């Protein structure tokens, strides 16, 4: 049994299994997060968000799997009777992309449902998340990485109903610099990061958490769709939600129906830990939360 502060993880994502009253914690769990050969994804389970069992293997690549490094930011969603994992992968001679995997239970094991990512193969993409619109059309929302485009972009891509393929071309929702709070990666460039999108509703309004570099470091902001549709346009809160040293956020409801914000903090490897912040029974999220 482990306490939360004993778990090293980046990009934490909590899936709540109500039938068994169990929390599943997924995230970037390789010891070599930035370099070296990746091994896969692990997960942990808990009944109280404090004491955890694990780690247990959720995904281990077969020898023929196309990627061998940067296994990042897995998310698990229940969709049409199955459990789907969306995660970022990369190889030396291939762009980073979001691949979708499937399992019959939240614990996995997860297996790819296609031979390649659903993001464009000539784009450097990461942090794909699943969004299902009001017409039950699935979308992938992801980041077109600043390393390739300079001013990182948030994009959306329609998916087939079985999530195996994309439909049409990606839509660019906004660039990082359109919000007031992001700052350049360094003072000598005009490059801006987009990272970690997560879609949710606040009193019926489509909203998004996402991360970038702010005045005091890695941070989270909130954007909201004016139209209520994924296409936007998107308005950005001027004030950051998490102002420094914590990011890649997602929201979930506890078994007691309290909303929790999950982030990793601090942002420095190897000290990252899952951090759960109670934001109450009602949304929206406003103001700055101290970690």
Domain ranges within the chain, ordered by starting residue: 2-280
240 pLDDT exceeds 90? yes
Nearest to 291 by CA among 216, 189, 185, 235: 216
2-280 CATH, one of 2.170.190.11, 2.115.10.20, 3.30.1490.20, 2.40.50.100: 2.115.10.20
**Average pLDDT over every residue of 218-231:** 97
Answer whether 53's CB lies under 8 Å from 63's CB: no
Average pLDDT taken over every residue of the chain = 96
Nearest to 12 by CA among 250, 277, 259, 266: 250
Answer whether 66's CB lies under 8 Å from 92's CB: no
Question: What are the two backbone dihedrals, phi and then psi, of residue 253, each rounded to the nearest 5 degrees?
Answer: -100, 130
Distance CA 105, CA 115 (A): 22
Which of 230-234, 250-254, 282-286 comes out lowest in average pLDDT? 282-286
pTM, two decimal places: 0.97
Residue 49: predicted pLDDT: 98
**Average pLDDT over every residue of 276-282:** 94
**Average pLDDT over every residue of 197-219:** 96
What pLDDT band is residue 250 in, cutting at 50, 70 and 90? very high
Distance CA 10, CA 271 (A): 9
Answer whether 86's CB lies under 8 Å from 130's CB: yes
> Exposed/middle/buried for 101, CB within 10 Å: 0-12, 13-18, 19+?
buried
Distance CA 201, CA 283 (A): 8
What pLDDT band is residue 71 in, cutting at 50, 70 and 90? very high
Distance CA 24, CA 97 (A): 24
Nearest to 115 by CA among 131, 94, 132: 94
Residue 30: predicted pLDDT: 96
Alpha helices in 114-229 (DSSP H): 146-149
- Give the end-to-end CA distance of the chain in Å, rounded to a whole number: 25
Residue 189: predicted pLDDT: 86
Residue 290: predicted pLDDT: 81
36 pLDDT exceeds 90? no
Q: What is the pLDDT of residues 147-203, one digit of tens each?
A: 999 999 999 999 999 999 999 999 999 999 999 999 999 888 899 999 999 999 999
Residue 128: predicted pLDDT: 98
Percent of the chain with pLDDT over 70: 100
Residue 150: predicted pLDDT: 97
């Amino acid at each position: 049994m482990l306490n939360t502060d004993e778990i090293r993880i980046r990009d934490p994502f909590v899936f709540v299994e109500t039938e068994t009253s169990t929390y599943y914690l997924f995230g970037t769990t390789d010891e070599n997060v930035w370099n070296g050969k990746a091994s896969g994804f692990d997960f942990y389970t808990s009944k109280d968000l404090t004491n955890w069992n694990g780690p247990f293997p959720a995904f281990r690549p077969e020898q023929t799997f196309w990627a061998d490094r940067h296994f990042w930011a897995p998310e698990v969603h229940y969709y049409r009777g199955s459990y789907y994992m969306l995660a970022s992968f990369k190889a030396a001679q291939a762009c980073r992309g979001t691949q979708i995997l499937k399992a019959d239970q939240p614990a996995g094991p997860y297996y790819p449902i296609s031979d390649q990512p659903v993001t464009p193969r000539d784009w450097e993409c990461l942090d794909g998340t699943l969004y299902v619109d009001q017409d039950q059309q699935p979308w992938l929302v992801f980041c077109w990485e600043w390393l390739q485009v300079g001013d990182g972009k948030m994009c959306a891509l329609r998916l087939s109903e079985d999530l195996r393929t994309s439909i049409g071309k990606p839509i660019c929702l906004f660039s990082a610099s359109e919000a007031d709070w992001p700052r350049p990666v360094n003072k000598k460039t005009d490059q801006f990061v987009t990272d970690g999108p997560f879609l949710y509703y606040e009193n019926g309004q489509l909203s998004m958490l996402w991360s970038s570099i702010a005045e005091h470091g890695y941070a989270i902001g909130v954007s909201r769709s004016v139209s209520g549709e994924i296409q936007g346009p998107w308005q950005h809160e001027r004030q950051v939600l998490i102002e420094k040293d914590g990011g890649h956020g997602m929201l979930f409801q506890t078994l007691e129906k309290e909303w929790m914000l999950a982030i990793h903090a601090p942002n420095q490897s190897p000290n990252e830990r899952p951090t759960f912040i109670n934001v109450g029974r009602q949304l929206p999220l406003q103001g700055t939360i101290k970690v």
